[in-house]
Amino acid sequence: MRLKTVFVGGAVACGLSVAAPAVASANVMWCVGDPPVQMSSPSGTNFTVSTQIFTTGNKQHLSQLVDEKVTSVSDGHGGTLVTVEIIGPAGQPMTVVASVNKYKVSGQASGVGDVSVTLDVPVA
């Protein structure tokens, strides 16, 4: 009776160890989230811009090679244009998602090397 229990437990353990690598290899996208950036509109209203960078493969070293520049100007219609520019390694394909959750505004762009996303935030 004990031998049967040990055999069944061993079979289950072998099955789980064989299935685990297949699940781990299914993740082909890698993402890094930059710290949120505090911004002010031309009239002085404060808001936070969040940025995430997606790339293919295991590129964990990318976080040290990426530079982020966030600027804001008046859009001339009572809002604020926010530009998020990600400067990455030459030849590295990336998708950048930027958002201002307070005003439910988001945008994304894809490219190789440098990628810019422009958001029109509805606050002067």
- Residue-wise pLDDT for 31-57, tens only, equals 556 688 999 888 889 999 999 888 876
In a domain, residue 24? The reply is: no
How far apart are the C-alpha atoms of 109 and 31, rounded to whole Å?
14
pLDDT at 5: 53
Max Cα-Cα span within the chain? 81
| 13 pLDDT tier (thresholds 50, 70, 90) | low
| 25 pLDDT tier (thresholds 50, 70, 90) | very low
pLDDT at 58: 61
In a domain, residue 13? The reply is: no
Find tokens 């244009």 and name the residue.
81
Which tens digits make up the pLDDT trace of 70-100?
999 998 888 999 999 999 888 888 899 999 9
Handedness of CA 90, 85, 59, 21 (dihedral sign): negative
In a domain, residue 23? The reply is: no
Which residues, other chains included, contact 91 with Cβ-Cβ below 8 Å and sequence gap of 6+? Answer: 112, 113
In a domain, residue 20? The reply is: no
Which residues span the domain enclosing 102?
29-121
pLDDT at 27: 39
In a domain, residue 79? The reply is: yes
Query: Per the structure, how many domains does the chain have?
Result: 1
